[in-house]
Structure 1
Amino acid sequence: MDEPELLVTQDGGVLTVTFNRPRQRNAMTWGMYEGLHEACEKADADDDVRVLVLKGAGDKAFVAGTDIGQFADFREGSEGVAYEEKIARIVNRLEDVDVPTVAAIRGFCVGGGLGIASVCDLRIATPSARFGIPIARTLGNCLSMNNYSLLLNHLGPARTLDMLLRARLFTGEEAAAAGFVAELCAEEDLDTATDAVVTTLLGHAPLSMWAAKEAVRRIRRATLPDGDDIVSRVFASEDFHSAVAAFATKQPVVWQGR
């Protein structure tokens, strides 16, 4: 029997979510997104849970985006808006979790994976980690205003535009230098470094940590503008539809800008 695509385990005060599709670099399915939402609900409902840890199975990826097959039937811009609303529901729920959240990252942390990591409170990574959203050279789609806000909040406008316009993948070292990664450790030390951070958090005052999380969250969302018109235009474009089809056949895309 195949293992579940998402593993949720608890050890004392630590709830761990493992994205478990290593052969697909842990690309997210709708079921995995919903499982992550349920794990967030569990974290807040169980008074014994004091820290939530997220990690990817295998050594190739944390999460390498959303499974591209889920875009195959998109035809209208409204479907792109609905998709981004579904993703925002999950990402915002993770950001809303009362206890500290820690992402342990090696390998690819791109697309939807970067969105998930961005709403965690602390990110521990190795030099093999690669952070980015290379849609300008892959699918030709765009992000929601919520996800643009997360990138701006963490990286600032210059690094955000560098990442998106050049479709760059930041290394673990670059992400640490930008302040996005809280701690950079050797490949073989990721579990040990994560455990050390978790131990520190378990010893701190829960309400003090909650207050810091809640304040940062409220400030970020306070000025969030609407961006449905941007999403609708891009997801309805010929470029996006062509790129999704080309991705499945591994054909190059000729961008038309329409």
Structure 2
Amino acid sequence: MDYKNIYIEEENNIATITINRPKKLNALNKRTIEELHVAFKELDEDTGIKVIIITGSGEKAFVAGADISEFSDFSIQEGWQLAAEGQKLLFNFVENLSTPVIAAVNGFALGGGLELAMSCHFRLASENAKMGLPEVTLGLIPGYGGTQRLPMLIGKGRAMEMIMTAGMIDAATALDYGLVNHVVSQEELLPLGHKIASRISNNSSVAIKYAINAVNAGFKYDVNGYAAEVDAFGSCFGTNDFKEGTSAFLEKRKADFPGS
């Protein structure tokens, strides 16, 4: 795909996707969502990529929301389709990706931007980051998973307050709420992301895939997370990574995981 709104950089088994619509504060439009879907899919299929970092261009915004001009005149059916397709193509897709995805929130993460960050496996933020779900000021509600993921991450009461007031929280509050794992300066954000990604990439990509699936299962109403963990744990015993990991441990050497 010919990317117009994103670009990808690869280094040491780590891919960084940058959303590049600075004049629109990196707002998500249909084209950007489609490009991100293709990028995540291709990177996930690339066995040489162990971790994906996603961030926004510039110093103002990660993603400042959805591109409202695209849907301001939508009908009920079109609005339903917008949310359903977006969740399938990007937000649910990222959450269930086998490759770990880290959001490096480098500024405003509002509406669809915060929803994108929350769909990632965890989040880092720069000190200037601001996060919120302002949809009710438009007569809408979050439609890309915000009403579901925010309560899971910060609790029902805090999520209800953020959604109903449409208020923004700063990076320090997000850290206190558990919405982000680390807060650093803008200059330190991507280096920290790469440092954590490098630590992840040293481990078994197969085991990490199973861990992602097991953790996600615990947040699904129709899945027994404990049973999913048992199944995943058992499956690990049939992998080459398990054989290498246990052999390396017993031989007191560093494991060289084949990723299978």
User: Secondary structure at 2:175's aligned position in 1?
Assistant: helix
Within a 5 Å distance, the mapping from 1:17-166 to structure 2 comes to 17-74=17-74, 76-89=75-88, 90-137=90-137, 139-144=138-143, 146-166=145-165
| 3-state secondary structure, aligned to 2:84 | helix
CA distance in 2, matches of 1:133, 1:56: 18
Whether the aligned pair in 1 keeps the contact of 2:115 and 2:144 (CA below 8 Å) is no
Q: Deviations over 1:80-115 (max 9, x none)?
A: 111110111111111121111111112100111111
- 1:223 Cα shift? 4.8
In 2, Cα distance between the equivalents of 1:205 and 1:36? 25
Mapped partners of 2:129, 2:119: distance in 1: 17
Query: CA offsets, 1:29-53, max 9 Å, x none?
Result: 1111001110121122111110011
Q: What secondary structure, in the 3-state scheme, does the structure 1 residue paired with 2:102 have? A: strand
1:132 partner letter: G
Distance across 2 between alignment mates of 1:180 and 1:81: 27
CA contact (8 A) 2:106 2:128 kept: yes
- Distance, in Å, in 1 between the alignment partners of 2:145 and 2:69 is 23
Contact 2:59-2:186 within 8 A present in 1 as well: no
> Residue type matched to 2:172 in 1?
E
Taking the aligned partners of 1:28 and 1:50, their CA distance within structure 2 comes to 25
Question: Which residue matches 1:214?
Answer: 213
Alignment of 1:192 onto 2:191: yes
- Report the residue type matching 1:104 in the other structure: A
Contact 1:43–1:97 (Cα < 8 Å) also in 2: no
Quick one: distance in 2 between partners of 1:114 and 1:60? 14
* 8 Å Cα contact 2:115-2:145 kept in structure 1: no
Does the CA contact (< 8 Å) of 2:111 and 2:142 recur in 1?
A: no
In 1, Cα distance between equivalents of 2:144 and 2:61: 25
Q: Structure 1: which amino acid aligns with 2:37?
A: H
Aligned length in residues: 220
| Partners of 1:17 and 1:54 within 8 A in 2 | yes
Give the superposition deviation at 1:145: 8.1
> Offset of 1:78 from its aligned partner?
1.4
Shift of 1:183: 0.9
Does structure 1 residue 201 correspond to structure 2 residue 200?
yes
CA contact (8 A) 2:104 2:193 kept: yes
Asked if the contact 1:103–1:122 (Cα under 8 Å) also holds between the matched residues in 2, the reply is: yes
SS in 2 for 1:53: strand
What's 1:4 paired with? 4
Worse-matched range after superposition: 84-93 or 10-19 = 10-19
Normalising by structure 1, we get a TM-score of: 0.81
Unaligned runs of 5+ in 2: 224-260
Which amino acid is 2:8 matched to? V
In structure 2, relative to structure 1, the CA distance for the partners of 1:159 and 1:223 (3 Å cut) is farther
The 3-state SS of whatever aligns with 2:58 is coil
Superposition misfits of 4+ residues, deviation over 6 angstroms? none
Larger RCO: 1 or 2 (CA < 8 Å, sep 6+): 1
Structure label with greater radius of gyration: 2
Output one character per residue of 1:219-240: Cα deviation in whole Å (capped at 9) or x when no partner: 223359xxxxxxxxxxxxxxxx
The answer to whether structure 1 residue 13 and structure 2 residue 25 are counterparts is no
Residue identity over aligned pairs, in percent, reads 28
| Distance across 2 between alignment mates of 1:211 and 1:86 | 26
Deviations 1:15-64, CA, capped at 9 Å, x for gaps: 22110011211001111100111012112211111001101000000001
